[in-house]
Amino acid sequence: MRWVKFGIGLVMAAAVTVGCSAPPPAPQPAPNRLQEVEQRGELRVCSTGDYRPFTYRDAAGAWSGIDIDVARDMATKLGVRATIVPTTWKTLLDDFVARCDIAVGGVSVTLERAQQAFFSTSFGVDGKTPITRCENVSRFQTLEQIDQPGVRAVVNPGGTNEKFAKQNLERATIVEHPDNNTIFQQIIDGHADLMMTDASETRWQARQHPELCPVHPDQPFTFAEKAYLLPQGDVAFQQWVDHYLDIVRNDGTYQRFAAPWIG
């Protein structure tokens, strides 16, 4: 009986101790990127500068493109300045997480990116399709036609173009070219036969280079959505960006930014 009373006493003592202990600390509020941006007076925008019509950085360092204009307008709506942070497709995720509030410039929604960041609402669809010299369009209608010995497919390293080529080409030769701004000249000059990239880019490049033609851009090999990268876990910032995009896509602002590039 003494052990029963002793055990009951321990339980009661423990209950009193728990009851008298300090309450657990209140959970800290989630980081609010909107407040950080406003306090900093700056929206830091990661972009590659090599994917027209969405993002372009010229030799003098000046930035342009549909998504660059959108990012600058977004900063204006927040009452801050936009600072464009150069990145590459290979380092996009790491640079975004470490240095930026948003990443823009024809960014495709992928699982790998979604594991480390949020995405805004999608504002466009796209897909991989070839671009080649116009006399070769009939040669490269299918992946089977492209994946043949002697065919040279040029890719820019680090992005979805390289990933798609490596997943689908076993017999063709994949040629890496580090500069996405000059990569299409490789096809014109005969150093590569084709490139598989987003249909939107093939259309724009074909307008700049009459020697080049997109191959079935209305029926690409894949389906992908375009969106902006946002900080993972920050729902408030994501909601504000989505709200902003909903407005500019319906009040004519986005169309005004796109018109000089795609008509």
**Residue (of 76, 121, 79) closest to 249 by Cα position:** 121
Domain count, the chain: 2
Does residue 168 fall inside a structural domain? yes
What is the C-alpha end-to-end distance of the chain, expressed in Å?
A: 92
Angstrom CA distances, 36 to 43, 68, 213, 239, 252, stand at 9, 21, 45, 16, 29
Q: Are residue 185 and residue 246 in the same domain, yes or no?
A: no
Per-residue pLDDT of the chain (263 residues; tens, 9 = 90+): 433 333 434 334 444 444 445 566 655 555 689 999 999 999 999 999 999 999 999 999 999 999 999 999 999 999 999 999 999 999 999 999 999 999 999 999 999 999 999 999 998 899 999 999 999 999 999 999 999 999 999 999 999 999 999 999 999 999 999 999 999 999 999 999 999 999 999 999 999 999 999 999 999 999 999 999 999 999 999 999 999 999 999 999 999 999 999 87
CATH number assigned to the domain comprising residue 101: 3.40.190.10
Task: Name residues whose C-beta falls within 8 Å of residue 175's C-beta, 6 or more positions apart in sequence.
Answer: 152, 153, 154, 155, 186, 191, 192
Q: Are residue 141 and residue 210 in the same domain, yes or no?
A: yes
**Residue (of 139, 141, 146, 176) closest to 161 by Cα position:** 176
Tokens read off for 223:
């389906």
Domain holding 137, by residue range, is 128-214
Phi, psi of 250 (to 5 degrees): -115, -10
Q: Are residue 232 and residue 249 in the same domain, yes or no?
A: yes
Does residue 197 fall inside a structural domain? yes
Q: Are residue 208 and residue 245 in the same domain, yes or no?
A: no
pLDDT at 250: 97
Q: Are residue 120 and residue 134 in the same domain, yes or no?
A: no
Please name the amino acid found at residue 204: W
Angstrom CA distances, 260 to 91, 105, 254, 256, stand at 29, 16, 11, 8
Q: Are residue 156 and residue 239 in the same domain, yes or no?
A: no
CA atoms of 109 and 229, how far apart (whole Å):
9
Q: Which residues pair with 230 in a beta bridge?
A: 118
Tokens read off for 154:
């040029």
Does residue 52 fall inside a structural domain? yes
pLDDT at 26: 58
Q: Are residue 141 and residue 120 in the same domain, yes or no?
A: no
Q: Are residue 134 and residue 119 in the same domain, yes or no?
A: no
Does residue 142 fall inside a structural domain? yes
Does residue 191 fall inside a structural domain? yes
Does residue 2 fall inside a structural domain? no
pLDDT at 6: 34
Q: Are residue 116 and residue 134 in the same domain, yes or no?
A: no
pLDDT at 126: 95
Predicted TM-score of the model (pTM): 0.82
pLDDT at 262: 85
Q: Are residue 200 and residue 81 in the same domain, yes or no?
A: no
pLDDT at 208: 94
Q: Are residue 117 and residue 170 in the same domain, yes or no?
A: no
Does residue 105 fall inside a structural domain? yes
pLDDT at 184: 98
pLDDT at 11: 39
Does residue 172 fall inside a structural domain? yes
Q: Are residue 177 and residue 113 in the same domain, yes or no?
A: no
